[in-house]
Amino acid sequence: MAVPESARAFVADLISRVRQSQNRWRIVFPEGNDERVVAAAGRLVRENVAQPLLVGKAPSNAPEGVQFFDPASSPLTRNYVSLYRERRRAKGITEFEAQEAVRKPEFFAALMVAAGDADGTVGGAVLSSREVLKAALQCIGPAKGTRLVSSVFVMAMPDPGAGHKGLMAFADGSVVIDPSAPELAEIAIATAESTRTLIGAEPVVALLSFSTKGSGRHKQVDKVSEALRIVKARVPELNIDGELQADAALVPEVAKLKALGSTVAGRANTLIFPDLNSANIGYKLVERLAGASAMGPFLQGLAKPANDLSRGCSSDDVFHTAVVTCLQCQQALSQRP
């Protein structure tokens, strides 16, 4: 299936925006001995996009400009053991348990970010999503004022008229299985920020349901309506509406019939699904039947950037996820007091 032009334009725009930054973000990869990761790291250096830091022993043919860190011999390890114990003090972590954790590459990489020795981390080429997320949550933790870490897919559509120049944000298709109304509100707020950061557009957020504006009655509909109330109270300036059926959120003609007067209906570029079931099914249907490209999932809600790869990823996927992580680093910097 052909890659949509919107996907190619999205990647080109990401790289251009990262290169315009005055910073060369330090991105650490826990799977430093994986061939795909090593190749992507070399490309990041050659194209002057980021400064890659790889966890593992340096191979004899290491790309020029790529740094390697071996947890077994790095002078940073002792500091990270102390940092990890401090972060997990409430759990009663012992010195031995902290040492065992820091020897794991995903924990070493996440602690590099937590300590300020790296700006973001990308893992999951070999590690499972559960391992990557566990290390990020325990070592980096959620952003201030955020209680939930979630994920977003950027969907590049063949139709350039969909969303923003063919790009849309879908959430949450990989982390939060059955969010409560407050959690759904958290996901919506975080995804709106991801739309700004990654897509470069002002978010138009639709809270999806099988009901539009009370056409159906069920506790699942009530959850979406309550999430809308919470978001409006917390972020009154955000352009968000719900509950909306997918056709009402996306098709102007349907919006006029089902949600007349809504500033979101018929023009949404950010779709918040009511649970992981619907989000995961939805993005894969759009990908397989409509020929869209799904990029991600990208994690959102962490204090500092961390992202997860698929174990079937290519070197290009690793490179592109690192570029997204750089943009998240820029956004995190802009939000610091």
31 part of a folded domain: yes
How far is Cα 222 from Cα 61, in angstroms, rounded to an integer? 58
Q: Are residues 133 and 155 in the same domain?
A: no
Q: What are the residues facing 53 on neighbouring strands?
A: 28, 67
What residue numbers bound the domain in which 112 lies?
Answer: 5-141+309-334
Q: pLDDT for 181-235, tens place per residue?
A: 999 999 999 999 999 999 999 999 999 999 999 787 889 999 999 999 999 999 9
Q: Are residues 206 and 100 in the same domain?
A: no
302 part of a folded domain: no
Closest CA to 154 of 35, 298, 273: 298
- Three-state secondary structure call for residue 98: helix
Measured CA angle at 222 (ends 216, 226), to 5 deg? 140
Identify whether the C-beta of residue 320 lies closer than 8 Å to the C-beta of residue 124.
no
Burial class (CB in 10 A: 0-12, 13-18, 19+), 198: buried
Q: Are residues 159 and 287 in the same domain?
A: yes
Q: Residue 117: what residue type?
A: D
Q: Are residues 166 and 265 in the same domain?
A: yes
298 part of a folded domain: no
Q: Are residues 68 and 156 in the same domain?
A: no
300 part of a folded domain: no
How far is Cα 9 from Cα 303, in angstroms, rounded to an integer? 29
How far is Cα 223 from Cα 185, in angstroms, rounded to an integer? 10
Report DSSP letters for 156-191, one per residue: E-S-TTSTBTTEEEEE-SSS-SS--HHHHHHHHHHH
Separation in Å, CA 253 to CA 66, 242, 265: 53, 17, 10
- Mention every residue, 6+ apart, whose C-beta is less than 8 A from residue 115: 76, 79, 80, 83
Q: Are residues 195 and 173 in the same domain?
A: yes
| pLDDT score of 109 | 98
Q: Are residues 136 and 18 in the same domain?
A: yes
What's the CATH code of the domain at 88? 3.40.50.10950
304 part of a folded domain: no
Compute mean pLDDT per 10 residues along the chain, 337 residues long, and list them.
Answer: 84 90 92 95 94 93 92 94 93 92 96 97 94 95 89 94 95 94 96 94 96 87 96 97 94 94 95 96 94 91 93 91 93 70
- Residue 256's H or E segment, with its range, is helix 252-258
Q: Are residues 173 and 88 in the same domain?
A: no
Q: Are residues 94 and 209 in the same domain?
A: no
299 part of a folded domain: no
How many domains would you assign to the chain? 2
Q: How far is CA 177 from the centre of its chain?
A: 16
95 part of a folded domain: yes
Q: Are residues 87 and 123 in the same domain?
A: yes
| pLDDT score of 1 | 59
| pLDDT score of 22 | 79
| pLDDT score of 96 | 93
Q: Are residues 123 and 159 in the same domain?
A: no
Q: pLDDT for 111-152, tens place per residue?
A: 999 999 999 999 999 999 899 999 999 999 998 888 899 999
Q: Are residues 256 and 319 in the same domain?
A: no
What's the CATH code of the domain at 258? 3.40.50.10750
